[in-house]
Amino acid sequence: MSIGTKNRLNQTGTTCKTHLREKYPQHLALVEEYIIELEGSGKSHDPTRWTKFTDAKHSTAEMLQRVDKDFDGWMNP
């Protein structure tokens, strides 16, 4: 994996986490739980799992819509 790819993957995760924290400040504990559940913890920690919300167009708006939809579905099963 090239350095550019690694940076882009980290940026995707950072963008998604920041978006959730800013959009749902009243549910911050749930947001943090969702982040841990998605990324994993300990040896299974993988911050690149946020890429499941991206697409070929690399549209940030669409990515954040997918994150919101997934978080809402996780919060309200």
pLDDT tens profile 45-75: 888 899 899 888 778 999 999 999 999 999 9
> Residue 27 has what DSSP assignment?
G
pLDDT at residue number 25: 95
Cα atoms found within 13 Å of the Cα of residue 54, Cβ hemisphere only? 15
pTM as predicted: 0.84
pLDDT in tens, 4-23: 577 777 888 999 999 999 99
For residue 13, the number of C-alpha atoms closer than 13 Å in the C-beta half-sphere is: 17
